[in-house]
Structure 1
Amino acid sequence: MDNMDDPAGDVLAGVGPRLRALRRARSATLAALADETGLTASTLSRLENGKLRPTLEQLLPLARAHGVPLDDLVAAPPTGDPRVHLRPVRHSGLVMVPLTRRPGGIQAYKVIHPPAGRAPTMNLQTHEGYEWFYVLNGQVRFVLGEQEFRLGVGEAAEFDTRTPHWIGSADSRPAELLALFGPQGERAHLAPSGH
């Protein structure tokens, strides 16, 4: 049957390459993704190669594992609504609002750090990659290795994240940042031990 006659086939045609790109962007193996989703590595391989037509029961755990909306996996036709629907993620005391939604590459987030008295204890982190942040509101306490900085509205910092670092509010108000980081930084910030 021709794709023109099969709208569902047209929508599902690109699922395999998107699944493969998402998995590779996370540097995940088929075996690791199988553990994460409950699907077999064989099923995942067949989905990625387009040899198996995906079902909702397969796509839901994959969307969760990759941290993307289901629409991103199936490339649902646009609804005509140009607005970006931001879905905040609460993690380790932070509120992270994704501003970009594409697999791999640099990701942009608005990050809201709680007031200094309500923040998790300072725990310096290291991970691969580089990070850049810009202070939108509040005052930021930024610890990088043996140095400590205080940044205000309109100030920015860029650093190698292999250097131990910590970022938080410097006073009794929340601190809001625009942050850019790559896949390694995204995993570090959204993993259970992120800063």
Structure 2
Amino acid sequence: MDSVIRQRIRGLRLARGWTLDALAARCNTSPSNLSRIEAGRRRIALDQLVPIARALDTTLDQLVESTGDEDVVIRPQPCDAQGTTSWLLSRERSLHGVTVAKMRITPDRPTDAEHLKVHPGREWFTVLSGTALLRLGERTILIQEGNAAEFATMTPHAIGAQDGTVEILTIFDHNGERTHLRDGGGT
């Protein structure tokens, strides 16, 4: 972690076009002390980081934030329902209230009239592989691999698979996520 902090200090200093002398003057330390901090020849103390962060116009939190991948990498877990396996690809409450999911739908997933869903909002999906069968009210629309669909969800709807398994990438608003992934186990 120390080396990341040192790199951030040096990187911010250089990005501003400042010499060691210029930054040292702004944070009330000597240029040699700052040089040793950046080079790793001096231990970094909290009482040194606060004025350095302030001089670099950043926060202490930003200067020392973790370099782990927990805030970036999502490790989706499969969730199975009748004819559907879903993987959530976004965090809760992310992307301004939408949920991104990958879904694998098999032909045994029902799309008959009694399985159609209705809720406020819109849905969008793109077909990654196979052919999706979209039921919108009385209409049946086939969406081929590489194509996408977007529709108002107040129309009764269901997505199934045509001639084998289909994989889709879908985006739900809050109502769609609750209806399809929490209550109904799939789209």
TM-score by length of 1: 0.54
Aligned twin of 2:169: 178
Give 1:121 deviation, angstroms.
5.3
Pick one of 117, 124, 128 that aligns with 1:125: 117
| Residue 160, structure 1, aligned to residue 148, structure 2 | no
Is the Cα–Cα contact under 8 Å of residues 137 and 176 in structure 1 kept in the other structure?
yes
| Residue 91, structure 1, aligned to residue 90, structure 2 | no
How many aligned residue pairs are there? 116
Q: Deviations over 1:130-177 (max 9, x none)?
A: 000000000111111121111111111100101001110011x21000
Measure the CA separation in 1 of the matches of 2:98 and 2:123: 10
Pick one of 68, 74, 78 that aligns with 1:80: 68
| Residues 1:121 and 1:159: Cα distance change in structure 2 (over 3 Å) | closer
5+ residue gaps, structure 2: 1-64
Give 1:79 deviation, angstroms.
6.6
Letter in 2 for 1:130: R
| Residues 1:92 and 1:98: Cα distance change in structure 2 (over 3 Å) | same
Is the Cα–Cα contact under 8 Å of residues 145 and 163 in structure 1 kept in the other structure?
yes
| Residues 1:179 and 1:144: Cα distance change in structure 2 (over 3 Å) | same
Compute the RMSD of aligned alpha carbons. Answer: 2.0
Aligned twin of 2:15: none
| Residues 1:79 and 1:134: Cα distance change in structure 2 (over 3 Å) | same
Aligned twin of 1:149: 141
